[in-house]
Structure formats: C-alpha cells, structure tokens
C-alpha cells in the first residue's frame, strides 16, 4: 500500500493531508456526506487519527511530523475510506451539524441538511424567532435537527420521533452526551 507521503519516514501533518487529498481524488470516492471535497474529507480522517478537535486543528500542527502510530491510524482510515466507500464521518463516528459535534454511524443518515443554517437563525426570515415555541422533528435520525433546535433556541420545547428504533437510540445517545434532555 502506498504511504500517505512521498517522503520516506514520517510525513508532516500538512504533507499527509495533501497526499491523502490527492489519493481520494484519484480514487473518485463520493463526497457529500459530511464533506464536499477531497481535502476536507482527508482532514476529517487526519484530525481523527491525530486526536485533534473535529473542526479545528491548530495552525502550527501542519509542520509537525506525525508519529508512526498516527501514520498507521491515518493510513488505515484512508484505505478503508477508499476500499469500502464509507463516508469519512462513519469511520470517525463524529460529524458537525449547526456547529454541534454529533455521534454518527450507520443507524442514521449523515446529517447534511441546509436546515442547519435556518435553525441557527431561529428560522428567520421565514418565521419570527420569538414566536417559535415548539418544534417537532419527524424522522429525526441522529437527532441533528432536534438537537440543533434545542441548542440554538433553548427556550423551546423539542420533540423528535423516528420509525427506526436504532436511529432513536443514536439520537438519545447524542441528547445525553450533549446534556439536552429535560430542559426547563
């Protein structure tokens, strides 16, 4: 298997990121499940392998050499992404929706709804945010929309439902982890 960097030894974070983006592009994997391009997809996998926060890697990290363990972990994720065509966020188990880190796996679709931007604005300009009292999220999946509503509009009541018991279990895990249940 080809290394994440053209250099012998340990690549820098930046070198690994660029090489992985090129590999993903050549492999013609589909983007659109949490990311929309090869560089962002590679970053999701790399940040996970490096143990960085999901959405932000420190700028100074790009010049750091990766450890052998980090290279191995990243290479395994990258190889799996290419071979199995699994979305990167399913491989890491984490995605962002409306700026909120959510657990995600095959029990629910990857959140990618443009509704996130509406939720962040309290549904303005379509609805006066001061008039929103309750939200019902039908087909909640991971709970992303319900959770975003609860986080961005803390004074409202949010109910979420789904026909899938597995999806509801995932949504409950996210609600518990984010401490959003039984708000008063």
Task: Please tell me the class of the 106-177 domain.
Answer: alpha beta
Q: Going residue by residue through the chain, which has 184 residues, state the pLDDT in tens, using 9 for 90 and above.
A: 345 544 557 888 888 989 999 999 898 888 877 678 888 889 889 988 888 765 556 677 777 888 888 898 999 999 999 999 988 889 989 888 988 999 999 999 888 778 888 888 888 889 888 888 999 999 999 999 999 999 998 889 999 999 999 999 999 999 999 998 776 4
Domain positions in the chain are: 13-92, 106-177
- Name beta bridge partners: 65: 12
Give residue 13's pLDDT: 84
3-state SS assignment for residue 123: coil
Neighbouring C-beta atoms of residue 56, cutoff 10 Å: 9
Phi, psi torsion values for 5, nearest 5 degrees:
-135, 150
Residue-wise burial string across 144-163, b where 16 or more C-beta atoms lie within 10 A, e elsewhere: bbbbbbbbbbeeeebebebe
């Amino acid at each position: 298997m080809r290394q994440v960097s053209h250099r012998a030894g340990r690549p820098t974070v930046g070198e690994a990121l660029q090489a992985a983006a090129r590999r993903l592009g050549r492999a013609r994997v589909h983007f659109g499940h949490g990311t929309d391009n090869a560089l962002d997809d590679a970053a999701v996998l790399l940040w996970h392998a490096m143990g960085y926060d999901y959405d932000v890697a420190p700028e100074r990290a790009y010049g750091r050499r990766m450890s052998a363990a980090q290279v191995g972990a990243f290479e395994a994720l990258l190889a799996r992404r290419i071979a199995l065509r699994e979305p990167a966020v399913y491989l890491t188990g984490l995605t962002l929706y409306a700026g909120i880190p959510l657990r995600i796996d095959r029990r629910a679709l990857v959140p990618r709804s443009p509704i996130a931007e509406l939720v962040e604005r309290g549904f303005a300009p379509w609805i006066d945010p001061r008039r929103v009292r309750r939200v019902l999220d039908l087909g909640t999946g991971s709970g992303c929309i319900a959770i975003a509503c609860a986080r961005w509009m803390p004074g409202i009541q949010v109910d979420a439902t789904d026909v899938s018991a597995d999806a509801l279990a995932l949504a409950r895990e996210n609600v518990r982890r984010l401490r959003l249940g039984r708000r008063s």
